[in-house]
Homo-oligomer: A and B are copies of this chain.
Amino acid sequence: MALNQWTTKRWSVKEAVAGCVRHGLPAIGLWRQNVAEQGLDETVPLVKHAGLRVSSLCRGGFLTSPGFEEDNRRAVDEAAALNAACLVMVVGGLPGVVPGEPLGEISRDLRSARNQVADALALLAPYAAQRGVRLALEPLHPMYCADRAVLSTLGQALDLAAPYPPETVGVVVDTFHVWWDPQVFEQIERAGREGRIASYQVCDFLSPLPADALLGRGMMGDGVIDFGPLTEAVAAAGYAGDVEVEIFNADIWAADPDEVVATMKDRFARLVVTRS
Residue in B closest to A227 when the chains form the complex, CB atoms: B108
A223 and B142 alpha carbons, distance in the complex (Å): 15
- Considering only CB atoms, which chain B residue lies closest to A108 in the complex? B226
**1/0 contact trace for A179-200 toward B, CB 8 Å?**
1111000000000000000000
Q: Which A positions have Cβ atoms within 8 angstroms of B?
A: 93-94, 97, 99-103, 106, 108-111, 114, 141-143, 145-147, 152-153, 155-156, 179-182, 205, 207-209, 211-213, 222-226, 229
Using A109-B226, A224-B106 as known contacts, say yes or no to A209 and B143 having CB atoms under 8 A apart. yes
Q: In the complex, what's the smallest C-beta–C-beta distance from A50 to chain B, in angstroms?
A: 36
Consensus secondary structure, chain A interface: loop
Nearest CB of B to A105, in Å: 13
Q: Report B-chain residues with C-beta under 8 Å of the C-beta of A155.
A: 182
24 contacts between A and B (CB under 8 A): A97-B207, A99-B208, A101-B208, A103-B223, A103-B224, A108-B224, A108-B225, A108-B226, A109-B226, A110-B180, A110-B226, A141-B142, A141-B143, A142-B142, A142-B143, A143-B143, A143-B209, A143-B213, A145-B179, A146-B180, A146-B207, A147-B208, A152-B182, A213-B213
